[in-house]
A = this chain, B = another copy of it.
Amino acid sequence: MSIRKGRSVTISDVAEAAGVSRAAVSKVLRNAYGVSPGMRQRVESTIEQLGYRPSVAARALRGSSYRLGLEIPYTGARFMTQIVEGAKRAVAGTPYQIILAPADGPEYDTLESLADGLVDGIIAISPLVDQAWLEDLARRVPVVMLGRHDTPAGYDTVTGDDHAGARAVMEHLLSLGHRRIAHLTEPENVTTPGSGTPHSVRLEVYRACMAEAGLADHIRVARRDVSGGDAVAAAAALLALPEPPTAIFAGHDDMAVDALAAVGRTVAVAGYDNTDLAAHPLIDLTSVDQEGVEMGAQAATMLLERLQGRTEPRHHVATTELRIRSSTAL
């Protein structure tokens, strides 16, 4: 046993010393099915020998599930791949597993179901759920919300810097000489002014930048019909206007890719999220990188901190960077 001093004992240390996998240690900790008595004894004696006693082990004794729930608004959204990847990386080497709960319709039900004994903590993307309700939920189970620009007392938030990201897109398009710039965004209920959703902020910045540039008369806002639906028709309708836009700022890459399907390379198109598809040579989409993997990792890390006892709220803001590609170089 040669555990370095000044460092707490990890599950990897236990696994190595016991000569078993980390998954096996995790299974012993959470009393999972299929652990042989010999395995259990070996792991438990190693845990005692090394003095492995994080609060997670204590939780196991109280019947912890060792699962973290990640609520996602709909499964097709490409940005989610980054969030999930980051969350998985953050829990690697801990006994926790990530499970995903796709919200179908009202997110309240999905969140309640997760809190209902299924998971030890919740990461959620629920822009429309009432803050007071979330504060109440967070009294029952630790909660980290993604993308909400609110300042709650009982839960944590991880957001991108939507002000800076949206402004970077608009300054880029304006610097290219575009005047008729349209904004393609989500349905009205997701962009209510002052609601603090990412799409309400991006829309607000779009309007402000247009006004500042003396282009208030050219403000055109198009929306996809329903959350999760495609934005091809909305983008095509912009092209059919008497004075069609020469550039489209889409609220996220999925809508931008839909816009490219409708307008091809005739109109400059910029997206948001820098999903993996943006860098594909046949798509080559200018987009805002808001460190989605890091956002997912931060959210999971903050949840683990809460599980280990932190109670004061933390609010992390990810930085943004505009990635300029040929979709805006017409």
Contacts and interface: CB of A to CB of B under 8 A. Distances in A.
Interface of A: 23, 26-27, 32-34, 65, 67, 75-76, 80-81, 84-85, 88, 92, 97-102, 104-106, 109-110, 112-113, 115-116, 118, 140, 257, 260-261, 264, 276-277, 280-283
Contact of A100 (B32, B99, B264): B99
The 6 closest A-B pairs by CB, nearest first: A100-B100, A23-B109, A76-B81, A75-B84, A282-B282, A33-B116
Contacts of A102: 84, 88, 98-100
Nearest to A100: B100
B85 A113 contact: no
A76 B280 CA distance: 15
Nearest to A69: B99
Given A261-B280, A283-B283, 18 more contacts: A23-B105, A32-B116, A33-B115, A33-B140, A34-B112, A67-B118, A75-B100, A76-B81, A84-B102, A92-B104, A98-B102, A99-B99, A99-B101, A118-B118, A260-B280, A261-B281, A264-B281, A264-B282
A227 to B, nearest CB: 14
5 contacts: A33-B140, A75-B80, A92-B104, A99-B118, A261-B280
A109 B106 CA distance: 31
A257 B281 contact: no
A105 to B, nearest CB: 8
A63 to B, nearest CB: 11
Given A97-B101, A100-B99, A118-B118, A112 B33 contact: yes
A62 B246 CA distance: 62
Contacts of A110: 97
Summarize A's interface: helix, strand, loop or mixed.
mixed
Nearest to A66: B113
A81 B75 contact: yes
Given A97-B101, A281-B261, A23 B106 contact: yes
Contacts of A282: 260-261, 264, 282-283
A142 B118 CA distance: 19
A91 to B, nearest CB: 9
A32 B111 CA distance: 12
Contacts of A33: 112, 115-116, 140
A27 B109 CA distance: 9
Nearest to A31: B116
A277 B277 contact: yes
Nearest to A110: B97
A23 B140 CA distance: 21
Contacts of A92: 104
Contact of A112 (B32, B101, B109): B32
A76 B275 CA distance: 11
A281 to B, nearest CB: 5
Q: Which of A100, A101, A257, A282 counts the most B-chain CB atoms under 10 A from its CB? A: A282
A260 B92 CA distance: 33
A264 B277 CA distance: 15
A276 B75 CA distance: 13
Contact of A113 (B84, B97, B101, B116): B97
